[in-house]
Structure 1
Amino acid sequence: MPTPTKGPRLGGGPAHERLMLANLAAALITHKSIKTTETKAKRLRPVAERLITFAKQGDLHARRRVMRTIGDKSVVHELFTEIAPLVAEREGGYTRITKLGFRKGDNASMVQIELVLEPVTPKVKSAKATAAKAAVAEPAAEVVEEPVEAPEAEAVEADAAPAEAEVVAEADAEEAK
């Protein structure tokens, strides 16, 4: 026996729920923002984000998978041509839910669910964190410092070359062990 979906059924059976979520997703894609109950918005969020993820892939198979959920070709075309390029850099979190208060008639919690279409700004990594990662990544690597050469002393260069070769040879011998 299949395990039922967790959470409320939104006033009907599973087929009715799928159709209702598909219609809500189509309205969200068309209008970019819709006002609905909190329960419906929370159930809509994973459906809409999955459809947008498929749209970011952009191939024929992804388009057909979106068409399985949303039957309207114009909505699917809008999703693939207008929305997918706007969220191409975003790695997730394509929707935003904002609470609006309670409905007057039945006191249901109302929210506004909207697509997040603003350009994403990458987080700036601090210099300390980058240096710490580099230090952790290469603890066994030995730093071989080359001697600083004086521009007027060419005789010192001739003596330094064999010394450098010896240091490099010793480092290679230690790595081989």
Structure 2
Amino acid sequence: MSHSPSFSKWPGIITLACLFLAPMPGVADMNNNQQITKGNEATCNNIYQFSVPDLITNQPVNFCDAFKGKVLIIVNTASKCAFTGQYEGLEALYKEYADQGLVVLGFPSNQFGGQEPGRPEEIHNFCRVTYGVQFPMFAKSQVRKEGADPIWKFLGESSGTYPKWNFYKYLINRQGEVVDVYSSFTSPDSMRFKRAVKALL
């Protein structure tokens, strides 16, 4: 009498074993998605690692999604400053070179002389009505070294220069790196500043 096992008697066990050995649906896809996500995160470094609330909606703007590969001018702004007129020159640059990849980003701050006391809607309306500002504006920020918001800590540490007053201008290349910093006294209309911007476009 043969004592060889009969596989016909074990259909349930074989089926169960196959289920355990077969790849689970969705597992490979999940792992691939995680790898893609990690890959994307790896390319979103430098200035692109940040998300900052929009001035009006207060919704976070992901810099990697919105500005990766652009040349950026990041400015701490104020509505009641002797340099407030620089909004006009910044908007002119934005309009002239937007098609070539330039974006100006405004960050209102009330840290210098209390010169940005307004609410978000007031700041927005002032900039639009007075200077025709169309470039992106973000929520009020802490820009000074002590207690700086993360993006401003990055700008300050990367450049070695934190803002000492309103309208400091940080020039960022297409790789998200800080190239140079210009003080309040450098007008966006100046040939020196324009040449530096155009060199990156």
Sort the TM-score into its range (normalised by shorter chain). Answer: under 0.3
Larger Rg belongs to: 1
Query: Could you state the TM-score of these two structures normalised by the residue count of structure 1?
Result: 0.26
Which structure's relative contact order is higher, taking Cα pairs within 8 Å and 6+ residues apart? 2
Q: Larger helix proportion, structure 1 or 2?
A: 1
Query: Could you state the TM-score of these two structures normalised by the residue count of structure 2?
Result: 0.23
